[in-house]
Amino acid sequence: MIEALRKLGLSDLEARCYLALHGQPPSSGYEVAKQVSVSRSNVYAALRSLVDKGVCRTIEGEPVTFAAIPVRQVVKLLQAEFERTARLLENELTHLPAAPPFFSNWKGDAQVDLAVRRLAANASTEILVDIWAEDLHQIEDTLLAAEERGITVHLMVIGDIPTALSRVIVHSVPAGGPKAARNFSLLLDKETSLLGSFTRHSQASALESNHPAVLDVLQTSYYHDVVMMRIEQDFATELEARYGKNYSLIFQEHPEMRGRKPAPATEPHPYRLEEDTR
């Protein structure tokens, strides 16, 4: 019985004092101390604690006596307290504050691969991917595993390449082909991002972040590419007549963009969206 009372939150001495009082007439601290064979000072401290916990009551007089609250009432009280505490925990901990913005650097093929696999494994709804065809093999198995879990993977691949992924947009290859550092990005559930590059002569590197500005830039860039590729497919002739080949007239109007080569039209790899037809 003492062990059961301890599980209800009473100390060993409190449990013994409660049992000494339960079902008995009100008793003084001196009388309880004689029954439990413990010093009066310790027993009085235990009795005051039982009163504070609502398990015993005091009866004013000379001397002051103590009486046990019936165990059925005690159990009801503890049940109500437990349920109140459980509701409080659920309300407070279910809605955790948003994680503060962070930036984490990953260096080396092994670390970048681990970051990709960890983030993909924790995605719950959607992954937006932008990567060169030459590098798709680095993360394709991870993306396929995510699809098998029911995650919607949208792949934008620069250059045409066979893949078993269900949703694929083929982006045209810029003039001059891939550079020495081929950038890639993943946007997961619009909550976490990974931006990095695979290089020909050194290890891969990547930046992981949940910063709202980074997430917004990646999402906007992805949607911008999708819209522009479709517009170029449907209005290629009109666009070239109005803005010049590869938008050369627009680049002339913006000196700040002259250091950047304009993307070619979509003739080398026309826009294609492959959807899962299963």
Output the domain CATH number for residue 48. Answer: 1.10.10.10
Owner of token pair 């627009």: 250
Q: What phi and psi values does residue 185 have, to the nearest 5 degrees?
A: -150, 150
Tell me, yes or no, whether 44 lies in a domain. Answer: yes
Same structural domain, 85 and 110: no
Tell me, yes or no, whether 218 lies in a domain. Answer: yes
Number of domains in the chain: 2
Same structural domain, 185 and 137: yes
Tell me, yes or no, whether 99 lies in a domain. Answer: no
Same structural domain, 156 and 254: yes
Confidence of residue 254 (pLDDT cuts 50, 70, 90): confident
Tell me, yes or no, whether 204 lies in a domain. Answer: yes
Tell me, yes or no, whether 78 lies in a domain. Answer: yes
Least confident of 1-5, 74-78, 123-127, 270-274: 270-274
Same structural domain, 85 and 109: no
At how many degrees (to 10) do helices 29-36 and 40-52 cross? 110
At how many degrees (to 10) do helices 12-21 and 40-52 cross? 80
Tell me, yes or no, whether 170 lies in a domain. Answer: yes
Looking at 119-262, which runs of residues are DSSP E strands? 126-132, 152-158, 167-171, 181-188, 192-199, 205-209
Same structural domain, 70 and 135: no
- Which of 51, 66, 94 is the last residue before a domain boundary? 94
Beta bridge partners of 168: 155, 274
Tell me, yes or no, whether 190 lies in a domain. Answer: yes
Same structural domain, 72 and 112: no
The closest alpha carbon to 56, from 115, 13, 3, belongs to 13
Same structural domain, 135 and 214: yes
Tell me, yes or no, whether 195 lies in a domain. Answer: yes
| Per-residue pLDDT at 96 | 64
Core vs surface per residue 172-200: b (16+ CB within 10 A) or e: bbbeeebeeebbbbbbbeebbbbbbbbee
Query: Model-level pTM?
Result: 0.60
| Per-residue pLDDT at 271 | 44
Residue 132 · residue 182 · CB < 8 Å: yes
Q: How many helices (DSSP H) and strands (DSSP E) are in the chain? A: 9, 11
CATH of the domain at 265: 3.30.870.10
Give pLDDT tens digits for 93-143. Answer: 766 667 789 999 999 999 999 999 999 999 999 999 999 999 999 999 999
Same structural domain, 24 and 130: no
Alpha-carbon separation of residue 259 from 35, 95, 251 (angstroms): 93, 47, 10
Same structural domain, 70 and 207: no
Same structural domain, 39 and 120: no
Q: Which alpha helices (H) appear in 22-124, and where do they start and end?
A: 29-36, 40-52, 71-94, 109-122
**Averaged pLDDT, 257-264:** 57
- Which of 67, 94, 121 is the last residue before a domain boundary? 94
Same structural domain, 89 and 118: no
- Which of 60, 94, 128 is the last residue before a domain boundary? 94
Same structural domain, 6 and 129: no
Domain of 138, in residue numbers: 104-274
Give pLDDT tens digits for 196-250. Answer: 999 888 899 999 999 999 999 999 999 999 999 889 889 999 999 999 988 888 8
Look over the chain and give the mean of its residue pLDDT values, rounded to a whole number. Answer: 87
